[in-house]
A = this chain, B = another copy of it.
Amino acid sequence: MTTALPSSVSIREVGPRDGLQSENPIAVADKVRLINALSRTGLSRVEAVAFVHPRAIPQMANADEVWEAVDRNPDVRYSALVPNLKGADRALKAGFTELEVVVSASDTHNRKNINRSTDESLDALGELIATVHDGGATAEVIVATSFGCPYEGDIAASRVAWVVDRAVAAGADRVAFGDTTGMGTPRRVRELLEAVRASQPDIPILLHFHNTRGTALANVLTALEYGVTEFDASVGGLGGCPYAPGASGNLATEELVHMLHDMGIDTGVDLDALLEVAVMAEGLVGRELPSGVLRAGPRTRLTPL
């Protein structure tokens, strides 16, 4: 193969938000400890909190308090997820300069989540993003169920591209594609990237994979071959899939870092430091996390004779 892969990749650590959102709630001080520890591993980005209603997602309560207490590392870009205008206002007031908003490519999934069609969510994006921009922040649109929907099945890549076109028209600075229930495969990654790039050659793209069916790193490899250099991952694989006990959820950050480093692709992350945080994360949520590199150690860790 002569495909030239990128020489470096930017990882956004989503354990504190996307990960913890699917675990049993933990204390504010523990969330702060986790974010602080992650911020010292060389990770360039951390998704820190979500400004959602605590009744909707109790795990994300006290976002203001968490963020206030974090030792903010000037070398790390922090982001917050917001579901609506009210959340955006709170995030801006708290001082975040990178906000994320989710729209599902699957109409059924979007309705199940927020009782709105995808089209209605897209209609509301313009005002939301304008508010974010007015507040001096950037807006990333995360397209959920981009590689398949658990209710509808396959989602056509042309549908995802249509959502992206609408998001860009509404002012999105970046787009992310979420493999919400781990339905992504190399073929789906290829089809999506080709469809989106055909109409939006320049919008920054980030990919978010789950390892539910073992394909996360194969999907990453495919995306690298298309020049994608931004990926989400979750320390230890935090964020189990609540309705499929035992199934792994988010791609573990250390599995991503481990493969990329062996391929000579820089991430800036100190893998040993990250593994220590993964051990801490297991303690915080009180369960064994699914990360294989955490269990077995990196391939460079030799067995004594």
Contacts and interface: CB of A to CB of B under 8 A. Distances in A.
A3 B217 CA distance: 19
Of the four ranges (under 10, 10 to 19, 20 to 34, 35 or more), the interface on chain A belongs to: 35 or more
Given A108-B305, A213-B255, A303-B150, A295 B185 contact: no
Nearest to A185: B262
A21 interface: no
Nearest to A300: B153
A263 B151 contact: no
A255 B245 CA distance: 17
Given A1-B3, A221-B186, A264-B187, A259 B300 contact: no
B262 A188 contact: yes
Number of copies: 2
A262 B1 CA distance: 22
Nearest to A297: B244
A292 B214 contact: yes
Interface in A161-191: 181-183, 185-188, 190
A211 B292 contact: yes
List 6 A-B pairs, minimum CB-CB distance, nearest first: A214-B255, A217-B218, A183-B299, A150-B303, A185-B262, A247-B296
15 contacts: A1-B225, A3-B3, A108-B305, A152-B302, A185-B262, A185-B299, A187-B264, A211-B292, A213-B255, A213-B259, A213-B292, A214-B252, A218-B220, A221-B221, A243-B303
